[in-house]
């Protein structure tokens, strides 16, 4: 379905089908009547899933109603999508420092900015049924996840590394052939090894693979000329707070708000 801008919702056309409603930020407001209409005639539809996101927990709209929906047995699964939802995103760099330092460096009047002191994955706060990694995610993987949940099966998302994708597409390894540092050995597959295909090292935008051997890769990165600061920086990007990358970068030894604490602003 598309909308909402004046198109209406073809609810009768969806009768008998599964329905997925995706809303971000203010987008939930125009979708709320649609969700209510579906729930009033719940038996007319198959599986119904509502995915809602917002910039911060405090920005979530209609929280009381959302809580009611979450308690319903006939509304489905929470799937988190992307590095911000699964690992806190690049803004999780604040976890290793004092966020007030960043505010003072970026904004002329930081006293007007209200923000969280840490950035944490959604799974740190509520039960999550599946995490789809990537910054950005891969559209084919998203389709697979949605299809799998609608079909009641586990998504067929590989837990292997970007290296396996290099091998599958026949890309020459940039680390072996050219000595280019690459996070592919510890990074979750999904992009199709785009960067090595363009003779660049992977910088880990899909986050850690299952069971990454980051210490072994760190040793190799140092053989290739990186020092400790370089290694910290290369792991402290989009998925800086993902446990495997955080450990590899020494992030847990950093500044004031390590690892998931909550500030006065947190909801
Ligand atoms: S280029 Fe990177 S991702 Fe590809 S095989 Fe080499 S180390 Fe692995
Ligand atoms: S940084 Fe790594 S995971 Fe991201 S697109 Fe490039 S190769 Fe893929």
User: Which residues, at least 6 apart from 109, have a Cβ–Cβ distance to it below 8 Å?
Assistant: none
Cα 45 to averaged position of ligand 2 atoms, centre (Å):
38
pLDDT at residue 67, rounded to an integer = 79
Distance CA 89, CA 119 (A): 7
Distance CA 186, CA 160 (A): 9
**25-108-230 Cα angle (round to 5):** 80
State the distance from the centre of ligand 2 to the C-alpha of 98, rounded, in angstroms: 29
Higher pLDDT, 97 or 254: 97
CA distance 14 to 38: 10
pLDDT tens string 212-237: 999 999 999 999 999 999 999 999 99
* Backbone angles phi and psi of 233, in degrees to 5: -65, -40
Tell me the CB-side half-sphere exposure of residue 76, using CA atoms within 13 A.
19
Determine the residue of 184, 209, 214 to mutate for testing ligand 1's pocket, defined as the one with the most ligand atoms within 8 A of the Cβ atom. 184
Is the pLDDT reported for residue 197 higher than 90? yes
| Distance between Cα 24 and ligand 1 center (Å) | 35
Question: pLDDT tens across 146-195, in order?
Answer: 888 878 888 999 989 999 999 999 999 999 999 999 999 999 999 999 99
Angstrom distance (rounded) from CA 225 to CA 126? 41
Short-list 244, 228, 256, CA closest to 121: 244
Q: Which residue has the higher pLDDT, 102 or 60?
A: 102
> Average model confidence (pLDDT) for the chain?
86
Strand partners, 221: none
DSSP class of residue 124?
G
Share of the chain above pLDDT 90, in %: 56
Query: Does any ligand 2 atom lie closer than 6 A to the CB of residue 197?
Result: no
Most informative mutation of 90, 162, 192, 208 for ligand 2 (most atoms within 8 A of CB): 162
pLDDT digits (tens, 9 = 90+) for 6-37: 667 888 888 999 888 888 878 888 889 899 99
- The ligand placed nearest to the CA atom of residue 166 is 1
Using pLDDT thresholds of 50, 70 and 90, give the confidence band for residue 5: low
Q: What's this model's pTM, rounded to 2 decimal places? A: 0.73
Name 264's Cβ contacts closer than 8 Å, sequence gap at least 6.
117
User: What Rg do the C-alpha atoms of the chain give, in angstroms?
Assistant: 21
Q: Which backbone phi and psi does 125 adopt, to 5 degrees?
A: -125, -35
Domain 11-90+120-151: state its class.
alpha beta
Mean pLDDT, rounded, for 81-99: 91
CA distances from 225 to 179, 187, 229, 238 (A): 9, 20, 11, 23
Every domain of the chain and the residues it spans: 11-90+120-151, 162-251
User: Residue 137's pLDDT band (boundaries 50, 70, 90)?
Assistant: very high
pLDDT at 259: 35
Residue scoring higher pLDDT (265 or 230) = 230
Residue with the bigger pLDDT between 71 and 164: it is 164
Residue 263 pLDDT > 50: no
């Amino acid at each position: 379905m598309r909308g909402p801008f004046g198109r209406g919702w073809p609810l009768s056309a969806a009768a008998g089908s599964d329905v997925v409603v995706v809303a971000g930020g203010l987008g939930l407001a125009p979708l709320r009547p649609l969700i209510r209409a579906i729930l009033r005639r719940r038996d007319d539809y198959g599986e119904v899933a509502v995915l809602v996101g917002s910039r911060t927990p405090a920005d979530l709209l209609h929280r009381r109603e959302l809580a009611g929906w979450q308690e319903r047995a006939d509304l489905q699964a929470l799937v988190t999508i992307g590095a911000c939802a699964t690992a806190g995103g690049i803004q999780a760099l604040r976890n290793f420092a004092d966020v007030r330092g960043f505010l003072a460096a970026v904004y002329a009047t930081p006293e007007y900015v209200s923000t969280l002191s840490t950035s944490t994955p959604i799974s740190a706060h509520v039960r999550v049924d599946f995490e789809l990694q990537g910054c950005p995610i891969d559209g084919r993987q998203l389709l697979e996840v949605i299809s799998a949940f609608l079909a009641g099966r586990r998504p067929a998302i590989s837990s292997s590394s970007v290296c396996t994708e290099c091998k599958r597409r026949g890309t020459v390894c940039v680390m072996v052939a050219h000595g280019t540092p690459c996070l592919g050995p510890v990074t979750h597959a999904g992009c199709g090894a785009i960067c090595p295909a363009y003779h660049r090292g992977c910088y880990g935008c899909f986050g850690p693979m299952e069971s990454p051997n980051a210490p072994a890769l760190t040793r190799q990165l140092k053989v290739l000329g990186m020092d400790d600061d370089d290694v910290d920086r290369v792991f402290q990007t989009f998925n800086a707070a993902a446990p495997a990358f955080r450990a590899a970068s020494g992030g847990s030894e950093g500044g004031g708000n390590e690892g998931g604490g909550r500030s006065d602003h947190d909801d």
